Chains A and B, each alone.
Chain A
Amino acid sequence: MQGTPDLIRSSRFRAEREADWRRLEALVALAERRGVHRMDFAEARDLAELYRQAATSLAVAREISLDRALLDYLEAPTARAYLSVYAPQERIGGLFRRFLAVSAPAAMRRAWAFVLVGVATMALGALAGGTLYFDDPSWYSVFMPTELADGRGPGSSAAELRAAIYGPPDGGGLAAFATYLFSHNTRIAIFIFGLGVFACAPALLLTFYNGLILGAFVALHIDRGLGWDVFGWLSIHGVTELSAICIACAGGLQLGTAVLFPGDRSRAEAIRLAGRDAAKLALVAALMLLAAALLEGFGRQLVQDLRFRVLIGWTIGGLWLAWVRLAGRGAA
């Protein structure tokens, strides 16, 4: 036996390595305080190296040592070092760029069938809402929440409706109006998305209901001979906003489908896999809603001409489509 003769084997094992463990502890504290990317090269290298040594020591100690205190101790710096070494190293700016340039459009392309189902659901809702309104205008008040109707209803005259379409916003700054709309719409989208996990039904229902509102609203205006005007009024932001709701619905449907038809996987596993694309869809929806709120808050009030409203709305819609179709091809 060489080394310090007085010590038993596992104590020698500890005595030889204790200094390294202490240094690892110090490096981990540094990494947790400042972040690995701000450490010196030597420190970062030592952290990774000492972590792997400590992991090895832990595995050996579990085999040869019966010193409970040592086993309990060694686990803690190893565990914390593991968390530091495997921390996400990406910068937030880079994440945004990658998301916009590659991963979001790719996820949208993969989910095209779900998006179509979302669009179809909303179209069906709009059709039903319109048909029901022409059948009996009192359906309008059944679908339309009062705070969204803004005083417009079957009782309103064509002049009142026209004033609402081409009028200045009532009270408050445009910015406040835009952010209010954004937070309201985002909550609805997150709702539609989050509820999708409960077997699709809530997401479909909510999307359908949004379609109903839309259908009844448009029908009311067509009834008053304002069809084109409301088309322009809706186009400028609605192309973006309604697409966003359909996309949120598609995300929810992906999750719900995973719950309903997990295939060979366990449900938790299936949800996890589906969540990869679904979360990206939810983020795209949130981004589009932000754009829609800005368009609605500023654009719609500043641009009063029907043709410009239609032009702006559908051009932006076309840009979204081009982004989804073209961005990041080949990069993935």
Chain B
Amino acid sequence: MSADPDILTPPEGVPLRFPVAGFGVHVGAQIADIAISGLAAAAAILLLVVTGAVAPIWLAGIGAALFLIVRVPYYVLSELAWNGQTLGKKMMKIKVVAHDGGPLTPHALVLRNLMKEAEVFLPATLVLSLDAERLAPSLIALAWTTGAVAIVLSNRRRRRLGDLMAGTCVVHLPEPVLPSDLSSTAPATATASGADAFGFMTRHLEHYGAYELQTLERVLRVEEQAPATAAEIDRRRQVRAAIVERIRARIDYAEATPPSAHLSFLRAFYTAQRAHLEQRRILGEARADKFHRETRR
């Protein structure tokens, strides 16, 4: 188990980041599940009544069985069949995972959903059936519900008791989005070889570290999107000019750069700086930020 609650280490040993689903997301998925399964059961019964496929004497029995199935069995079977997702979890794009990085076991899914009866359905029923006339049951219901919520909120992975027992937690599914590589998609005014056009030399590139590089990357990512308004265009120009001035002052870059070349200057500087930092890193000198010289001393 690692210190960061979002990190999971699969058997391959490469830690992966799965953002833990928050309490609100849990509740949302649960409500969606109850609505879907409840409606499905009700629709099935209605269908049986309307078509008259079964004798009325069986209906009550079938109904009771259906509403039993949409409790624990529905969650166990759907999470088994869809690898840790119920329909509600699919809607919320969340998923149950084993927090030790191993595969989900049927045992874990059974256990965490058995506890759902005591942790979710019972408090929900209690809250729905509150009776203002009787104080003691209301207080017990309040204490129980508070306890169930407190367990979830008091651990960083937002696990309920069933999750703790089963060794599982609920995470967001990461969405893969791959933007273009900034160092290779420079505009025509400054191709990759154009980096040399600005003539950055090693002494120019000794000042910044990874933090500044990735901040610059974020600025350039914004530049890639088409500006929405004239005001936006104007603001971006000002931001570019300010950044270029800061960089030139810091790295002691003598040549003047006209405003039209600001963007290509930043791109070229990004490429050169990244190449330089990555080179240093391979040689064993990782530079976290611009204070790398002070911290080394």
Cβ of A6 and Cβ of B165 under 8 Å apart? no
Does B158 lie at the interface of the complex (its beta carbon under 8 Å from any beta carbon of A)? Answer: no
Residues of A within 8 A of B177 (CB): 73, 76
Interface centre among A194, A255, A282 (most CB of B within 10 A): A194
Cβ of B166 and Cβ of A272 under 8 Å apart? yes
A24 to chain B, nearest CB (A): 9
A247 to chain B, nearest CB (A): 14
Does B257 lie at the interface of the complex (its beta carbon under 8 Å from any beta carbon of A)? Answer: no
Alpha-carbon separation in the docked complex, A278 to B57 (Å): 37
A164 to chain B, nearest CB (A): 22
Does A66 lie at the interface of the complex (its beta carbon under 8 Å from any beta carbon of B)? Answer: yes
Does A25 lie at the interface of the complex (its beta carbon under 8 Å from any beta carbon of B)? Answer: yes
Chain B, residue nearest A63 (CB):
B281
Does B34 lie at the interface of the complex (its beta carbon under 8 Å from any beta carbon of A)? Answer: no
Residues of B within 8 A of A275 (CB): 111, 165-166
Residues of B within 8 A of A280 (CB): 107
Cβ of B16 and Cβ of A179 under 8 Å apart? no
Given the known interface contacts A9-B275, A64-B278, the answer about A172 and B60 at a Cβ–Cβ threshold of 8 Å is yes
- Number of contacting residues on B, CB 8 A? 72
Q: In the complex, which residues 15-66 of chain B have their Cβ closer than 8 Å to any Cβ of chain A?
A: 16-18, 57-62, 64-65
Alpha-carbon separation in the docked complex, A211 to B176 (Å): 58
Cβ of B173 and Cβ of A8 under 8 Å apart? no
Cβ of B107 and Cβ of A276 under 8 Å apart? yes
Does A39 lie at the interface of the complex (its beta carbon under 8 Å from any beta carbon of B)? Answer: no
Cβ of B221 and Cβ of A69 under 8 Å apart? yes
Does A332 lie at the interface of the complex (its beta carbon under 8 Å from any beta carbon of B)? Answer: no
Chain A, residue nearest B16 (CB):
A79
- Encode A28-69 as 1/0 by CB contact (under 8 A) with B: 000010000000000000000000100110110001111111
Chain B, residue nearest A36 (CB):
B83
Residues of A within 8 A of B187 (CB): none
Looking at B98-106, B198-206, B235-243, B248-256, the stretch in contact with chain A turns out to be B98-106
Does B258 lie at the interface of the complex (its beta carbon under 8 Å from any beta carbon of A)? Answer: no
Given the known interface contacts A25-B176, A88-B103, the answer about A66 and B166 at a Cβ–Cβ threshold of 8 Å is no
Cβ of B64 and Cβ of A6 under 8 Å apart? no
Cβ of B114 and Cβ of A65 under 8 Å apart? no
Residues of A within 8 A of B114 (CB): 190, 193-194, 279, 282
Residues of B within 8 A of A186 (CB): 68
Cβ of B179 and Cβ of A180 under 8 Å apart? no
Does A84 lie at the interface of the complex (its beta carbon under 8 Å from any beta carbon of B)? Answer: yes
A99 to chain B, nearest CB (A): 8
Does A175 lie at the interface of the complex (its beta carbon under 8 Å from any beta carbon of B)? Answer: yes
Given the known interface contacts A79-B174, A80-B173, A187-B117, the answer about A67 and B274 at a Cβ–Cβ threshold of 8 Å is yes
Looking at B133-141, B209-217, B259-267, the stretch in contact with chain A turns out to be B209-217
Cβ of A271 and Cβ of B83 under 8 Å apart? no
Cβ of A6 and Cβ of B192 under 8 Å apart? yes
Q: Which of B14, B65, B106, B117 sits near A90, CB closer than 8 Å?
A: B106
Cβ of A66 and Cβ of B277 under 8 Å apart? yes
B217 to chain A, nearest CB (A): 6
Residues of A within 8 A of B161 (CB): 197
Chain B, residue nearest A195 (CB):
B118
Chain B, residue nearest A9 (CB):
B278
Q: Which of B13, B18, B282 sits near A64, CB closer than 8 Å?
A: B282
Given the known interface contacts A14-B181, A77-B176, A172-B60, the answer about A6 and B166 at a Cβ–Cβ threshold of 8 Å is no
Alpha-carbon separation in the docked complex, A15 to B192 (Å): 15
- Encode A62-94 as 1/0 by CB contact (under 8 A) with B: 011111111001011111101110111010100
Residues of A within 8 A of B59 (CB): 176
Given the known interface contacts A64-B278, A173-B57, A179-B65, the answer about A80 and B176 at a Cβ–Cβ threshold of 8 Å is yes
Cβ of A59 and Cβ of B14 under 8 Å apart? yes
Alpha-carbon separation in the docked complex, A194 to B105 (Å): 20
Cβ of B16 and Cβ of A66 under 8 Å apart? no
Cβ of B278 and Cβ of A79 under 8 Å apart? no
Cβ of A21 and Cβ of B178 under 8 Å apart? yes
Residues of B within 8 A of A69 (CB): 178-179, 181-182, 217, 221
Cβ of A194 and Cβ of B57 under 8 Å apart? no
Q: A175-B61, A187-B117 are in contact. List 15 more A-B contacts (CB 8 A).
A: A10-B278, A11-B184, A67-B181, A67-B182, A69-B178, A73-B177, A87-B83, A88-B83, A90-B106, A95-B80, A173-B60, A175-B57, A272-B166, A276-B107, A282-B114
| Contact surface of B with A, Cβ cutoff 8 Å | 10-14, 16-18, 57-62, 64-65, 67-68, 72, 77, 80-81, 83-84, 95, 97, 102-107, 110-111, 114-115, 117-119, 161, 164-167, 173-179, 181-184, 191-193, 210, 213-214, 217-218, 221, 271, 274-275, 277-279, 281-282
Q: What would be 9 A-B contacts, judged by CB atoms less than 8 Å apart?
A: A8-B275, A56-B14, A65-B278, A69-B181, A79-B16, A88-B105, A177-B61, A195-B118, A280-B107
Shortest Cβ-Cβ A-B pairs, 10 listed: A175-B61, A194-B118, A176-B60, A173-B57, A76-B176, A76-B174, A179-B64, A8-B275, A6-B192, A87-B83
